[in-house]
Structure 1
């Protein structure tokens, strides 16, 4: 039995809200808990991509600094994502979904390429998961809201000529 499109739309929007909030949580962790040891397992994977032994202390400190800077940037991105999901949901705007799609399509190939060249397989897995869990719902919402908008479009003056 097919799921009604309104129910599916609500579920996909809820999923995107959750994804944006997870991005926000992860970004806060990257910014503020790097020195606490929470990132050690991940950092060990990164270490093996760039160092044959443990990295020098200065390199690790710089790495944690980059994580903090990246986390702060990701916090901002997370808020933009939350805002676009809210706009897309409230206004049923395909444009909001389109901008989110464009951002992901711009980000993913670059991030995946850099991860591949550094042989950071965990990053490729994370990127692949993000693509598979974000793009299909966004594309569906874009198409659904575009169809709904075009069926509700009032005739223009050109239609009366």
Structure 2
């Protein structure tokens, strides 16, 4: 038995809220856990692409700084993402979904190309996962809410005319 469109919409919106919260959680870790040892495996993966042996201490410190800086930027992005999901959900407007799609379409190819150029396969896999789990629900929500808005306009025009 197919899932009613309203329930599917609710499930996709819940998924996007969760994705925004995961982005916020990860961004906090990137910003504040760089020197804790929690990110050592990740840092070693990146470092291995640039140095065959252990990197210089200054290079590690700079990587931790870049991760913290990126984490702070990602915190802001995750809040914008959460706000757009909230607006799209409450207002049932395709505009919010469209802006989220636009942000992903601008980000993904560049990020993936930079990761590919540096041969950072972990980044490429994470980017691919994000793209495949965010873009289809956003496109579905965009089309669904746009169709619903068009139907409402047609119905209003018919009852007023």
Q: Which residue of 2 aligns with 1:155?
A: 157
Q: Runs of 5+ in structure 2 lacking a partner?
A: none
Q: Runs of 5+ in structure 1 lacking a partner?
A: none
1:21-43 per-residue CA deviation (whole Å, 9 max, x = no partner) reads 00000000000001001101111
Distance 1:11 1:98 in 2: 18
1:102-142 per-residue CA deviation (whole Å, 9 max, x = no partner) reads 00000000000000000000000000000110000000000
Alignment of 1:105-120 (within 5 A): 105-120=105-120
Alignment of 1:128-143 (within 5 A): 128-143=128-143
Alignment of 1:38-57 (within 5 A): 38-57=38-57
Q: Find runs of 4+ consecutive structure 1 residues off by over 3 angstroms.
A: none
Query: Larger deviation: 28-37 or 47-56?
Result: 47-56
Distance 1:54 1:148 in 2: 57
TM-score (norm 1): 0.96
TM-score (norm 2): 0.96
What is the CA distance between 1:92 and its match in structure 2? 0.3
Q: Which residue of 2 aligns with 1:61?
A: 61
Q: How many matched pairs?
A: 158
CA-atom RMSD, angstroms? 1.3
Distance 1:37 1:105 in 2: 33
What is the CA distance between 1:155 and its match in structure 2? 2.8
